[in-house]
């Protein structure tokens, strides 16, 4: 009995855990800096001559007066500019209108009432895996929606949150379509390739075949793990009385609301679709024409969709919820609409506090350069003489998975690794595009296992929101939920890489395993 009580006492709230991680990071940075920990790695800084330069990175100490000054002067600005904060608050406005008006419950129940549980889970997981084309926005949209979808299906919302985060994390590195991240990575891949072959080119469809196989297999694996391993082990969820309405029948008002909402939503979508199609009269106004690839025109840093896509989605949700409410008579006046706009923001005080400490932890860890030092040091292993093609494949895959735990950002990570990895693989007859595939698959394995991932905080916050236990949700337990997914995804993706290498299958259109 005493042991059980002791265990209950040491269960830490995620906020306290993040605070401890912040303190440990500060102390560790001071210790490593005192030891003079640093790394030198080859980087390509000249995109004309494609020559190497030696980049030296040292651990920066925050355990000092200047370090403390940095923390105190940047914490507020880091929190205010932390992307998940603004994205979540704005998206919740739209979700609140859909939820409170009844649109979300009606449409989800209508679509899923006759579907099998595994089918619903698979469709949700597949959507999450494919959603990487929209960048990081799906983390903010699909995690809250997944919880509600499972509640409306009278299932534990934890299942939806855990499965959607696993699929979004794995999907961040596997995409049938060329994403803006893939496009940025291709630039570094080509820089690495041009060290040995200045005429090397890459096509936008160079990865499509292996990515298609990965998407299907990973979606099936995540669905199986969710239904067979995760769901049975979760504690029982006690539904509210209004969530337990047994029989759903579509009334005339609800049908009218769906028709009006569908028509209004369709007009809204058609308008924006027309605005992103180049070449038609008055079309393409929302594209960034300074970019080469269409995906970059759509989602580049300075494009309309990159800066305004969250608001575009929010307005779509508001339109669906508002016009449904008008048709179904659940929104009768301006007060109803205004109440609905703030519905999902009720009780998110602790979520904001979690985001504050998460943003501080991520900012502090990034400023210490620990992740960059680890990435550079492990990447240097690829320069060891005598390594054959197969060992290099395995080593690059493992390194990509390991460094993602400390440096989740794909572009920055590949900027360090590409100048080493691409030439190393080319020297043993493997193509630059194969090197990028191995890297992307490797980081997909562990993206869901690191609290340093920017959108991990959304996953954590929603597990805390739906936690019915008297004890707070344990931060490390939230990561343990992701371990079975990580193992399965790792086995699948590494197996795909090996099969493609042995058989010599084309990676995509114009993309091959060998040079």
Instruction: Write down the pTM of the prediction.
Output: 0.91
**Domain residue limits at 55:** 6-503
Express each pLDDT in 276-301 by its tens digit: 787 777 677 777 777 777 767 776 66
186-195, 315-324, 363-372: segment of lowest average pLDDT? 186-195
1, pLDDT greater than 70: no
What average pLDDT does this structure show over 32-59?
79
Between 309 and 448, whose confidence is greater? 448
Residue 269 lies in a domain: yes
pLDDT of residue 387: 86
In this predicted structure, the answer to whether residue 51 has a pLDDT above a threshold of 70 is: no
Neighbouring residues of 239: CB distance < 8 A, sequence distance ≥ 6: 151, 154
Residue 104's CB is within 10 A of a number of other CB atoms, namely 22
Burial 136-167 (b: 16+ CB within 10 A, else e): bbbbbbbbbbbbbbbbbbebbbbbbbbbbbbb
Report if residue 512 sits inside a domain.
Answer: no
Residue 514 lies in a domain: no
**Which residues are CB-contacts of 515 (< 8 A; sequence separation ≥ 6)?**
197, 426, 429, 430, 431, 432
Tell me, yes or no, whether 44 lies in a domain. yes
In a domain, 422, yes or no: yes
- Going by C-alpha positions, the residue among 325, 459, 429, 402 that lies closest to residue 417 is 402
Q: Are 75 and 85 in contact (CB under 8 A)?
A: no
Say if residue 417's pLDDT is above 60. Answer: yes
Q: Which helix (H) or strand (E) holds 338?
A: helix 334-341
Would the pLDDT of 254 be above 60?
yes
pLDDT of residue 121: 94
Q: Which comes out higher in pLDDT, residue 500 or 305?
A: 500
Q: Would you tell me how many other CB atoms lie within 10 Å of the CB of residue 288? A: 16
Residue 509 lies in a domain: no
Mean model confidence pLDDT for the chain: 88
Which is nearest to 97 in space by CA: 258, 270, 253, 324?
324
Q: For residue range 341-394, what is the model confidence (pLDDT) as tens digits?
A: 888 888 788 889 999 999 999 999 999 999 999 999 999 999 888 888 999 999
What are the DSSP calls for 106-158, one per residue?
Answer: HHHHHHHTTS-HHHHHHHHHHHHHHGGGGTTHHHHHHHHHHHHHHHHTTS-HH
At 272, the pLDDT band (50, 70, 90 cuts) reads: confident
Query: Which of 370 and 244 is assigned the larger pLDDT?
Result: 370
Residue 28 has pLDDT above 80, yes or no: yes
Assess if residue 364 is contained within a domain. yes
Q: Is the predicted pLDDT of residue 7 greater than 50, yes or no?
A: no
Does residue 245 surpass a pLDDT of 70? Answer: no
Tell me what pLDDT residue 6 has. 44
pLDDT of 46 strictly over 60: no
Q: How many domains does the chain have?
A: 1
Report DSSP state, residue 474.
Answer: P
pLDDT of 459: 94
Is 48 within the bounds of a domain? yes
Query: What local confidence, expressed as pLDDT, does residue 9 receive?
Result: 54
Q: Which two tokens stand for residue 60?
A: 């920066």
């Amino acid at each position: 009995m005493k042991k059980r009580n002791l265990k209950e006492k040491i269960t830490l709230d995620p906020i306290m855990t993040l605070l401890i991680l912040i303190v440990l990071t500060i102390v560790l940075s001071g210790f490593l800096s005192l030891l003079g920990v640093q790394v030198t790695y080859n980087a390509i800084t000249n995109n004309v001559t494609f020559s190497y330069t030696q980049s030296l990175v040292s651990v920066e100490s925050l355990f000092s007066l200047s370090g403390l000054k940095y923390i105190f002067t940047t914490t507020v600005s880091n929190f205010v500019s932390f992307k998940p904060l603004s994205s979540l608050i704005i998206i919740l406005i739209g979700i609140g209108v859909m939820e409170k008006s009844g649109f979300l419950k009606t449409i989800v129940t209508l679509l899923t009432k006759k579907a099998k549980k595994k089918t619903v889970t698979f469709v949700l997981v597949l959507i999450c895996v494919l959603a990487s084309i929209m960048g990081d926005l799906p983390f903010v949209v699909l995690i809250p929606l997944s919880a509600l979808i499972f509640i409306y299906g009278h299932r534990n919302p934890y299942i939806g949150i855990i499965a959607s985060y696993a699929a979004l994390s794995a999907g961040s590195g596997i995409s049938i379509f060329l994403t803006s991240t893939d496009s940025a990575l291709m630039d570094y891949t080509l820089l690495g390739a041009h060290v040995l072959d200045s005429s090397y080119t890459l096509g936008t469809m160079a990865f499509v075949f292996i990515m298609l196989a990965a998407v299907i297999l990973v979606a099936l694996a995540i669905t199986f793990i969710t239904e067979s391993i995760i769901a049975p082990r979760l504690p029982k969820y006690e539904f509210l009385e209004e969530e337990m309405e047994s029989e759903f029948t579509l009334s005339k008002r609800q049908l009218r609301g769906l028709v009006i909402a569908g028509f209004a939503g369709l007009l809204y979508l058609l308008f924006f679709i027309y605005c992103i199609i180049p070449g038609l009269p008055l079309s393409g106004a929302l594209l960034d024409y300074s970019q080469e690839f269409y995906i970059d025109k759509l989602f580049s840093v300075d494009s309309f969709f990159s800066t305004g896509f969250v608001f575009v989605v929010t307005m779509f949700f508001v339109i669906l919820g508002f016009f449904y409410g008008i048709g179904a008579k659940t929104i009768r006046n301006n007060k109803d609409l205004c109440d609905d706009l703030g519905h999902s923001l009720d009780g998110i005080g602790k979520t904001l506090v979690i985001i504050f400490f998460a943003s501080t932890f991520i900012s502090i860890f990034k400023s210490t350069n620990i992740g960059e030092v680890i990435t550079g040091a492990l990447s240097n292993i690829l320069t060891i003489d005598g390594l054959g093609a197969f060992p290099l494949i395995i080593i690059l895959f493992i390194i990509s998975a390991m460094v993602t735990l400390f440096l989740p950002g794909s572009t920055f990570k590949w900027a360090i690794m590409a100048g080493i990895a691409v030439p190393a693989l080319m020297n043993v007859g493997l193509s630059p595009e194969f090197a990028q595939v191995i890297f992307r698959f490797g980081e997909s394995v562990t993206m869901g296992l690191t609290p340093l991932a920017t959108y991990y905080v959304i996953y954590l916050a929603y597990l805390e929101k739906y936690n019915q236990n008297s004890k707070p949700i344990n931060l490390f337990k939230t990561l343990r939920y992701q371990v079975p997914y990580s193992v399965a995804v790792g086995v699948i993706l590494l197996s795909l890489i090996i099969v493609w290498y042995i058989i010599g299958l084309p990676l995509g259109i114009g993309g091959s395993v060998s040079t």
